[in-house]
Each structure stands twice: as C-alpha cells, then as structure tokens.
Amino acid sequence: MARLAEQLKIDEGRVVEALQAARERLDRVEGEMVLDFSSVRRIDPCALRAMEELADTADHQGVKLVLQDVNVAAYKVLKLVKLASRFCFAS
C-alpha cells in the first residue's frame, strides 16, 4: 500500500547497497522518501553514482528525496558534483 513518506537509514558501510534498495522501493512511494544520512561520514564516487541514479529515478517517478542529517563535508561534495540541487535537506 502506498505511503506518503518512506524513511530509510543509510549505513556508512553499505551506502551503495542502501541507495540501490531505496531506488527499488521508489515505485511504492508517493510524496517523499527520507534518507537518513546521520551515520554516513564520507561519500565515495560509487555512492555519488548511486545517488545520481536514485535522483534520476525519483525525478521520473515524481518522488521528492529528502536527505536527513547529511554532514557538511558530504554536503560540500554534493555541491561540488552539482547533485545537491536534486535533493532536499533536513536535519
């Protein structure tokens, strides 16, 4: 059954897998999906690719992606690769 908001915790050791899982769940989400980044200390190139794919799919499906508790160093990375504008941020 469709829900208005979906919340997923992203584990630093499995960022890519978690993002892929989130992507697979997008078709069951209406409204927004909240990804909890509070335990992610760093983002690597693979994670960035996964985030870009996730953003593409979310755009396609009209789902708003909210990244929660992204640390500022990781936020700067998203700005540098021009991905920040594709997400909403919450803390």
**Beta carbon of residue 82, minimum distance to another protein (angstroms, whole number):** 9
- One of 16, 81, 86, 89 touching another protein (CB under 8 A): 81
For every residue of 44-84, DSSP letters joined together read -HHHHHHHHHHHHHHHHHTPEEEEES--HHHHHHHHHTT-G
Q: Which residues contact 72 (CB under 8 A, 6 or more apart)?
A: none
Q: Residue 19 or residue 48: which is nearer to another protein going by CB?
A: 48
Question: How far is residue 63 CA from its own chain's centroid?
Answer: 11
Segment interacting with another protein, rule: CB under 8 A, options 13-21, 23-31, 37-45, 57-65:
37-45
Q: Residue 35 or residue 77: which is nearer to another protein going by CB?
A: 77
Binding site for another protein (CB under 8 A): 42-46, 48-49, 73-74, 76-77, 80-81
